[in-house]
């Protein structure tokens, strides 16, 4: 009789420890988000569930082409792709991205380019849209992958690096679209 109670106590204690660890990881290391809108298609779709690594940027800097979640305002978080880091000069000419006058292939856009006719990204220079020739220190320039339909830095300007919640590490729903890498 005592062994059954002992086993139950061990099982309950184990479950409690697992729940505490899960809550800790969920609250402090990772966060779950629902993609709202079409601005990141074809990388992320409206309704996708994503896991955001919140601790990564405590140990390393944001990298170009990372897909991130950031606080757009007090009520909304946006998911976008980092295009420009501090000091970068950015322009798009003939639907091609140039960073510091070097052409950058955007392989993650190929699926979208295959579906459309015409250009995906209209020509622009950083100076035309922000008044700055380079991305300022502590700021980032972000774009949605659906360049025809994305409210991004072309409209609201730079984002402060301090507003970054974390990097999108996993798309886990729907199961048919599970994915882990969003830079290529």
Among 93, 161, 84, residue whose Cα is nearest residue 123: 93
What is the β-pairing status of strands 159-160 and 139-143? antiparallel
Beta-strand runs (E) in 39-126: 49-53, 67-71, 77-84, 90-93, 96-99, 102-104, 124-125
Return the half-sphere exposure (C-beta side, CA atoms, 13 A cut-off) of residue 73: 3
Question: Which residues are tagged catalytic?
Answer: 39, 80
């Amino acid at each position: 009789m005592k062994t059954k109670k002992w086993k139950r106590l061990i099982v309950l204690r184990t479950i409690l420890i697992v729940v505490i660890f899960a809550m800790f990881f969920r609250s402090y290391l990772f966060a779950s988000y629902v993609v709202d809108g079409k601005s990141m298609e074809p990388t992320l779709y409206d309704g996708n569930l994503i896991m955001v690594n919140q601790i990564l940027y405590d140990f390393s800097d944001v990298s170009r082409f990372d897909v991130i979640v950031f606080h757009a305002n007090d009520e909304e978080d946006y998911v976008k792709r980092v295009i420009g880091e501090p000091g970068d000069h950015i322009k798009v000419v003939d639907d091609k991205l140039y960073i510091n006058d070097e052409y950058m292939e955007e392989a993650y856009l190929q699926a979208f380019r295959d579906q459309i006719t015409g250009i995906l990204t209209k020509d622009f220079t950083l100076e035309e849209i922000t008044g700055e020739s380079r991305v300022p220190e502590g700021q980032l320039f972000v774009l949605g992958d659906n360049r025809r339909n994305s409210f991004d830095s072309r409209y609201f300007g730079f984002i402060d690096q301090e507003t970054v919640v974390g990097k999108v590490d996993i798309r886990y729903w729907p199961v048919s679209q599970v994915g882990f890498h969003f830079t290529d």
